[in-house]
Amino acid sequence: MPGYNSRYRHRYAATLAVRPVIRSIESRVIQIKDLASDMCMGYGGFDPKPGQTIRTAVLPIGFSGGFPRLLKDGYVLLRGKRAPIIGLMSMEHTLVDVSEVPEVRHGDTAILLGEQDGAAITAPDLARMTGFEIIDIMPRLARGLPRTYV
């Protein structure tokens, strides 16, 4: 719309059926492994604290899908709970800490954008985690991921 900006957003919101173009970005858990303090995993060499063992899950999505390698306080949703992304994202995989989600299983759906069991990761959340503006991150993701049309 010509002249449309945030000042007029409320005026048009009631008359337009605006819905997100990308409703969700999902992946699946392909591996679960306990990571002891003497182990190192992923790019950047993530190490647990001495004497600590964490439960990790691997997701088959990485920076080739449009996500930046380093996410600030990044997380995914697994079974409706936040699971922090640890280490640097690799080209094809992401490592997450599922120590606080003990019921996670191989094949579970991980949400990188969208809703799950009452919890959500919104586009502004994703923009904050990536350090990009929404207008910059969404085209990157749209270009790098397979699509399911609904």
pLDDT of 126 > 90? The answer is no
- pTM recorded for the entire structure: 0.80
Top-confidence residue, 57 or 13: 57
Taking the C-alpha atoms of residue 71 and residue 79, their distance in angstroms, rounded to an integer, is 21
Distance, C-alpha 67 to centroid of its chain: 8
Most confident of 16-30, 82-96, 136-150: 82-96
pLDDT digit string, tens, across residues 127-145: 898 888 888 887 877 776 7
Domains of the chain: 20-144 (2.40.37.10)
pLDDT of 54 > 80? The answer is yes
Taking the C-alpha atoms of residue 133 and residue 72, their distance in angstroms, rounded to an integer, is 14
Q: Are the C-beta atoms of residues 113 and 25 closer than 8 Å to each other?
A: yes
Taking the C-alpha atoms of residue 65 and residue 147, their distance in angstroms, rounded to an integer, is 12
